[in-house]
Structures are given as structure tokens and as C-alpha cells.
Structure 1
Amino acid sequence: MRVAATLVASLTLSTTVLVGQAAAASVDTADPVPAACPVVAPMYTAADYWLAHGTDLASASWKNAVFHVGNLAMVLTSGQSNHKTLPWAQALKYQLDTDPANEFTPANEAAGEAYLDLYTYFHPDPPILAALRARVADEVASVQAGHVKYWNTVDALNQAWPQFVRLGVMDKKPENIQAAQDLFHYAEKRAGGFGLFNEFTGLWYHDASQVGSFQFWSRGNGEALAALATVLQWLPKDDPNRPEYVRVFQKMANTLRLVQRNDGFWNVDLLNPFDHPGPESSGTALFTYALGWGVNNGILDAKKFTPTVTKGWNALTTKALQPSGLFGYVQGDATGPHGAQPVTASDTGAYAVGAYLMAGQQVAKLTPACSPPTS
């Protein structure tokens, strides 16, 4: 197993700076696991395969953003760098994708989350966040002018929301957090007339076209739950909107616990086991990450939810992760259960590998053999 006592100089944990930690509710920190930890080896197997065989590895896409957030979670868990995220970000000059026709496309802001992790845990160099700070400042001004419809799909929450909150805490700019709340409120309560969050089921529609239907997409809901987990990790405990975020998180979690399949996966159509009933790993990985974070941070009852997290991790590690290292059963580009079907063992994607690595960080915290030795 590839575990080292220290990181190389280019990604050294000894220079970790947890900016805004005092104000944050709970921050995952570097605490490398012992060599006996069974979680790290499959994480590196999946990451190594994707880095050797993946596609479009150089772009600032939302897919690569999720991968690199997961990659850094793996580094923080194991204590060993694979020297991939910093060079990726440097080659991009820490820039974000742009779209002249839609300045504030959430997917184009997703790379900012990986840049924030680089800055927070490894390299507190201001240029890393310059482009992200400028983009968020411009969007905050637009929201303050009354434009609140930018987050009109559920995946937008994970692509953009954490950046607003983290910069708001880090830079002591409450206007960032308030703008994010305005955007979240639109997505939750107003998009499509009634909002994307369905109070009856505790699940999210992907977009306005699905509001009123009975279709709840696994990966879309995984994006929402992951976003809530990350935001709650950084949001101050006394923030007035925190109780609503916790309520939605817990409501989702209770539904998801009940609809998890016996094999540990979640259906791609969460409430319809007959709609493309095969395994799907991207939604399952996001759920496993977020539910694991909820248990580790006291948001979810450990007795109720640890078995759910364990089943999800085992499914991902024993079935989705192939002996070669390919992380399969990943639904491709889609906006609902019916896109990119059928999903097969050879279907993979950066975002699913990244979500698997994020899940591994949380599962390691729940695994006795992974507990760091006490000093």
C-alpha cells in the first residue's frame, strides 16, 4: 500500500493553512492513515488508472474539477502526493472556463473548488484564487442586482455553491454567503414554479422540466447532497440559514437510506427500480461521500447511517472498481436516468472517480484500522 510519512515539498502538509477554520463548522484536515488501512489502496488504484487512461485530462471542466477535489482528498487521507493536481492547475494558470453567452455558468466555476483545496491545504498563494475571486465577486454583484436564476439545475449546487461560501468565510465577505443563499433559495423553492426540491420525497428534480414528475435522478441528487455536505463543512455554526441546510440534508439522507438497493448501489432512477435497474456508480459515490461526511460530523446518526455508507463503499470497491483499476458503471453525460444508457462495467468518467476518492476519505474516518495512532 502506498502510504508515506510525509509529502514531497511540492505538496507538503507541513505548510497546510486552514484559512477560516475558526469560523467553519468542521474542516477535514490532513491526518494520514496507518499502513494497515484497507481504504487507501483501492483509492490509488482507481486514481492511477484514470490518470493513465482517462480522457480530456487537461481541461478546467466540472468533470476534472470533481476528480481533483477527490484526488486531494486521497492525498490528505494517505499522506502521499501523486503530483497531479498542482501541475494541472498550474497549466491552467488557475483560470476558469468562460462562456460569453452565459457569464455565470455554474459548470465553469467548478474548478474553483479544486483551487480552493490547493490553496487551503497546501499552497496559500493568492494567484491560485485570483480568477475565482473575480468571478464570484462579479456574480455576487449580479445577484445583488436581482438576478437569481443562475442555479436552475440541481448539479449547479455542487458546481458553484461551495466556492461562494468558502470565499465568504475566508475573505470575511458575508455578501458572498448571502448571494449563495439567494441562489440556493431560487433553486430550492422557485425554479420551475415550485422549486427543484420535492418536500414529499425529500429528493430533487434535475431541472424545471421535471418538476411535478416522479423522476428523481441519482447523480443529480448526489450532486445536491454532496454540495450540502461541503457547504455545511465550511459554513459558520451560527449562520441563520444553516438549520435549513441541515434539514434538507437530513431529509434527503433519510429517504436515501430507505431506497438503497440490497447490493449497496442506488438506482439511477431513485424511486423506480425497474427503470434501467443496473448498478450506477457516480450517484452512489456521491451519496457515500456525503452520508459518510454526515456521520463523521454528527449530522447523521452513526448507528443508522454507518451501515448505509459501508454498503455503498463495498459496492463501489468490489463491483464498480475493476481489477485493472477502471472504475466502471458510470452513467455518462445526462440530465436524468434515461441519458447515456445502458450503463456498463466499462463506462467510466472523471467525476465518478473523483467522487469515489471523496467517499474514501470519509470511509477511512469510519474504519477502525484507518484510525491514526494517538500520540
Structure 2
Amino acid sequence: MMFLLKSKRSRSLLFVLLFLIPGVKTYAKVGQVNNPDSLLQKAYILNIMHKVADWQLNEWNTNGFKHPKVDWTNAACYTGIYALGSIKNNEKYLTALVNIGNDLNWNTGRDRFMADDYCIGQTYALLYTRYKDKKMIAPFILLADSIVNKPHDESLEWKNKIASREWAWCDALFMGPTALSYLSSATGNRQYLNIATKLWWRTTDYLYDPAEHLYFRDGSYLDKKEKNGKKVFWARGNGWVLAGLVRVMENMPANDPEKARFEKLYRDMAAKIASLQQPDGSWHASLLDPESYPVKETSGTGFYCYALLWGLNHGMLDSKTYWPVVKKAWAALASSVQPDGMLGYVQRIGASPDAVTENSTEVYGVGAFLLTGTQLYQYLNKHPEAGKN
């Protein structure tokens, strides 16, 4: 039955009735922020980060871990939880990570040389830096030493299970070099950073398109095309890269001989990514064919917003150019959080662009969101005037 409710009172009554019907969701439209003016207030940023993080922790505590605790999916989430826990008076989030580490006996995954399986090492190294408990990094040090000693001379072609041995896919650049770089900072052992940078450029030489300033997902995508005939560049895949890039640079000493090369790559990618932002402030699942995937995607958007904010916080990007970009991106992210704290519009696990909905969620999207919020909070601490315009 279709009918029109002409009066405001009738519409309000319908809303109340819907609220009382079991199974009907009545949250404010996902994709809409009730008070856009509050988005850049530090209290709002902290509150929405707490909301998202607490939803995720409660999900784990209530329903268990959907993926193994050591898995790359959760490991990406831990990076954001750690970032939030590093803000004063948020230590409960660090405690949650220590408990997870203890449950795992501080081990990495079973597939020793696959970057996904030691992504968690970056969180172990960060926790060790804070608490100085050697058990937190002892198993990872043994693995890292064996990575340093491997020849790394296999072809990166996408065959023969190469991902189990080398960084042959772009996602790996968030998983592997970051973990080794943070371990290098935690231990003072420069070998770990050296191998991270060496292998970073090996992967880049194979998967980076210097004309587009973007990375192919893996060798199987080098010749693939989107529906519009353009190359396939996956939003989250390049999000993994850009976020991984800043996390490696975070561990580079000022005099590192590779620093200038990393900085150039970062600025080139940042400019390209900014140019591909959609009118709603997000990036869609396909960077060069957003029309085929017309809905915002929050894991790629989160990693881009995080990496661009990191560049602003470290004086590497021009605020006049990039502050408007991150403001729009943050609005797209914040409007994707449902009232209970669940982050929507996260593309499921995959290797290429795919559809999303407001109810699509995954842990790595939460990690990207929290990394972004933490960098935004830091930026507004340094530039409070930025929150007023």
C-alpha cells in the first residue's frame, strides 16, 4: 500500500512506529552527518574514533574473531587501535593489544615469509618500543633475521605461489616493509630497514606505473583493462601502498640515503590520488573507472586520508592544496559510521575493484579509519585554526 504523509506530525508518527518494529533499522541515513560543523572538532573526532574502536572490540569480545588473531586483516586493524591508544587517556586500547599479543605468544603467522603473516610485527614492535618487554619482539626478530639473509632473487611474476616468498603484490607494501621498519626503530638494527627499502624498490620496479603514478595489484593485472578501457588500479591496493609508504618513511632517519627517493614517490602518488578524489570526498573501488563502481569505498579512502594527513603533519604536503582534500575525505568517512559504531562501505577481501554497500564492513577498514582520525587529531592540535574553515 502506498500513501503520502503530508503533515510533519504524521511523518514523525511513522518514524516512531518504524522504530518499534523489530528488525527495522532506523539510524540516521548512513552517508549523512547530523552536524557537519562538528566534524573538525577534536572532541567529535575522539568520540567517533572511540565509537568505531569500541564497536570492533565489542564485536571481537561478543562474537569472536572472524579471522585468526594473527591474520593480516586484524593486523591492519591493530595499527589503528594502537594509534588511538597512543593518544593520552586512551591506554585501554593498548591493553587490548597486549592481551592479543599474549594470546598469540607474540608469534607471527605460519607462512613465515609471506608478508601478510608478519604484518602484525609492526604492532609488536610499537608495543615493545613503549613497554620494553623483549618477549614482544623475540620471535619476530628471528624471522626478520632470516628475511635479511634470504637471496630475494626470484621473479615476481604472479605464479608458483610467489606471494609466500616475496612481495609480489602491492598490498604487501603495507604488510612487510612496515613491520621490518618498525622493528628497525625498536631495536636500532639498521639491517631491517635496509632490507625493507631494498625489497620495496624491487616490488616498485615491477608493479609501479610511472606514467600513472599508481601500482598494479600484481603481475596478473599488468595488461587488464576496466570496462571503460583504462588500466585496472584498485583503490584499496594503492591505499595499502600509500599508507605503507608513510609508515616506512616514519622510521627513516633524516640522513637515510633512500629518503629523497621515497619522498618523491610519496609526493607523486599523493598528487595523483588527490586528482582522483570523487565529488563526495571518497575514492571508489576503481581509481580510473569510478563510474563502474559508483559507491564510495571506505578502506581505500581511509588509507588515502591517513597518508595525506601524515604528509601534512610532517610538512611534506602543501596545506592549501591538500587540506581541502582531507576535509572532504574525512566527511565521507565519518558519514559512513552507523550509530552503533559500525563502519560501512568497506570492500570485502579481494584483489580488485568490487561492489560495496552501507553494511559492508571489515576490520582493516576500521584500522584505516582510526589511523586517519589520529592523524587528523594531531593536525588540529598543531593547527587549531584549520578546524574553523
Do the structures match in fold with TM over 0.5?
yes
| 1:141-169 C-alpha deviation (Å, 9 max, x unpaired) | 003x7458500000101001012223334
Matched, 1:346 2:359: yes
Q: Find the residue that maps to 1:77 and give its secondary structure.
A: coil
Q: Find the residue that maps to 2:125 and give its secondary structure.
A: helix
Measured in 2, the distance between the counterparts of 1:370 and 1:354 equals 24
| 1:78-127 C-alpha deviation (Å, 9 max, x unpaired) | 5222331111111111111112xxx3000001111111121123x11111
Q: Find the residue that maps to 2:44 and give its secondary structure.
A: coil
The one of 128, 132, 141 equivalent to 1:124 is 132
The one of 356, 366, 374 equivalent to 2:369 is 356
| 1:273-315 C-alpha deviation (Å, 9 max, x unpaired) | 2121111100000011111001100111111111111111111
Matched, 1:223 2:240: yes
Contact 1:223 1:286 in 2 (8 A): yes
Matched, 1:284 2:283: no
Match of 1:305 in 2: 322
| 1:180-214 C-alpha deviation (Å, 9 max, x unpaired) | 2221122111xxxxx21111111111000112440
Change (3 A) 1:287 1:322: same
Contact 2:169 2:219 in 1 (8 A): yes
Match of 1:269 in 2: 286
| 200-209 or 148-157, which deviates more | 148-157
Change (3 A) 1:248 1:230: same
Change (3 A) 1:148 1:37: farther
Contact 1:37 1:364 in 2 (8 A): no
The offset of 1:53, in angstroms, is: 2.3
Q: What count of residue pairs does the alignment treat as equivalent? A: 323
Contact 2:122 2:180 in 1 (8 A): no
Matched, 1:207 2:205: no
Match of 1:56 in 2: 66
Measured in 2, the distance between the counterparts of 1:172 and 1:329 equals 40
| 1:251-290 C-alpha deviation (Å, 9 max, x unpaired) | 1100111110111110110111212111110000001111
Change (3 A) 1:58 1:44: farther
The offset of 1:36, in angstroms, is: 5.6
The one of 37, 41, 50 equivalent to 1:44 is 50
Measured in 2, the distance between the counterparts of 1:258 and 1:361 equals 24
The offset of 1:369, in angstroms, is: 9.5
Match of 2:78 in 1: 68
Matched, 1:332 2:348: yes
Contact 2:170 2:215 in 1 (8 A): yes
Measured in 1, the distance between the counterparts of 2:215 and 2:237 equals 7
The one of 110, 115, 118 equivalent to 1:98 is 110
Change (3 A) 1:370 1:131: farther
Contact 1:364 1:370 in 2 (8 A): no
Measured in 2, the distance between the counterparts of 1:169 and 1:355 equals 22
Contact 1:77 1:364 in 2 (8 A): no
Measured in 1, the distance between the counterparts of 2:233 and 2:333 equals 21
Measured in 2, the distance between the counterparts of 1:360 and 1:148 equals 38
| 78-87 or 264-273, which deviates more | 78-87
Measured in 2, the distance between the counterparts of 1:169 and 1:325 equals 34
Contact 2:232 2:286 in 1 (8 A): yes
Match of 1:108 in 2: 117
Measured in 1, the distance between the counterparts of 2:282 and 2:100 equals 31
Matched, 1:167 2:180: no
Q: Find the residue that maps to 1:38 and give its secondary structure.
A: helix
Q: Find the residue that maps to 1:234 and give its secondary structure.
A: coil
Measured in 2, the distance between the counterparts of 1:36 and 1:302 equals 19
Q: Which one has a bigger Cα radius of gyration?
A: 2
The one of 198, 202, 205 equivalent to 1:182 is 198
Match of 1:27 in 2: none
Match of 2:87 in 1: 77
Measured in 1, the distance between the counterparts of 2:178 and 2:66 equals 24
Matched, 1:254 2:271: yes
Amino acid at match of 1:74: L
Matched, 1:243 2:255: no
Amino acid at match of 1:157: L
Give the alignment's Cα RMSD to 1 decimal: 1.9
Contact 1:61 1:97 in 2 (8 A): yes
| 1:291-340 C-alpha deviation (Å, 9 max, x unpaired) | 1001100111111111111111111002x1111211010101100103xx
Identity %: 28
Contact 1:148 1:182 in 2 (8 A): no
Gaps of 5+ in 1: 1-34, 190-194
Match of 1:152 in 2: 168
Contact 1:329 1:345 in 2 (8 A): yes
